[in-house]
Amino acid sequence: MMNESAYTNVSAQFETRSLSVDAEYKTQFEAKIDRNKQHYDPDTGDNVTYYRIQIKRTRVPLGNMGSFSVSNYSNEHRYMHFLELYQSLQKRHPQCVYPSFPPKRYDTEAPETIKERLIGLEGFIQFILSNESLANDREVLEFFGQQPLNRAKNLVKKTERTWFDSMIDYLAYPFIALENNFNTEKIDKKYPAMFGAPTNNPNVRNIPDNRSTSDLTVLEGDNI
């Protein structure tokens, strides 16, 4: 059973961890579980405990280019979310020696259980940040609410490609419309007897256009 002094000592061991995730920047993460909060779960009808992680991210440029930036934010996760991350990291990074994880308990909302989990989850977070391979793991970055750098770059490139493609489509539209109009005229000349169009070809019988307004509407809708 954990006492208050033990919780204070664990919290005091918190420190900054430096992670190099970019060739141009060194990113420092500071993370600390500072409190728990209950939220109503409409699926179960019960109140469930979420543990809030206070996160400070500092980006330090390695060269003369770039700017120093600091951002503070927080997110909340349930015990089961921490457990899923713990189990996932064990599978994908089996070379690491992991600390013991707070066990599952029946009395999940009991004060002693919550206090024990606060200490254990805090230790787990600090263990992650102390290990470079774990701290740069994509799932860990998403868990902290920090988008992985490579994904952010890919999104920028994708946005640029989409904008470029849109400009090409815009510039090419008059030529595409002209080509479509030319093809339509060729079709009308090739099949002039369709839907009542007159023809001088003696081998083709003119077909009267007996379609009603409703039929035309349906046909037009089918072409959309």
- Domains of the chain (ranges; CATH) run 4-146 (3.30.1520.10), 158-222 (no CATH)
Q: Residue type for 85, please?
A: L
CA distance 98 to 94: 9
φ/ψ of residue 19, rounded to 5: -130, 125
Would strands 25-41 and 46-61 be described as parallel, antiparallel, or unpaired?
A: antiparallel
| Confidence at residue 200, expressed as pLDDT on a 0 to 100 scale | 56
Q: What does the chain come to in residues?
A: 224
CA distance 78 to 81: 5
CA distance 30 to 14: 8
| Confidence at residue 185, expressed as pLDDT on a 0 to 100 scale | 53
Q: How many CA atoms lie within 13 A of 176 on its CB side?
A: 6
DSSP bridge pairs for 30: 56
> In which residue ranges of the chain is pLDDT below 70?
1-25, 64-66, 146-224
CA distance 28 to 123: 18
| Confidence at residue 117, expressed as pLDDT on a 0 to 100 scale | 93
- Cα Rg of the chain (Å, integer): 32
| Confidence at residue 57, expressed as pLDDT on a 0 to 100 scale | 83
CA distance 117 to 51: 9
| Confidence at residue 136, expressed as pLDDT on a 0 to 100 scale | 82
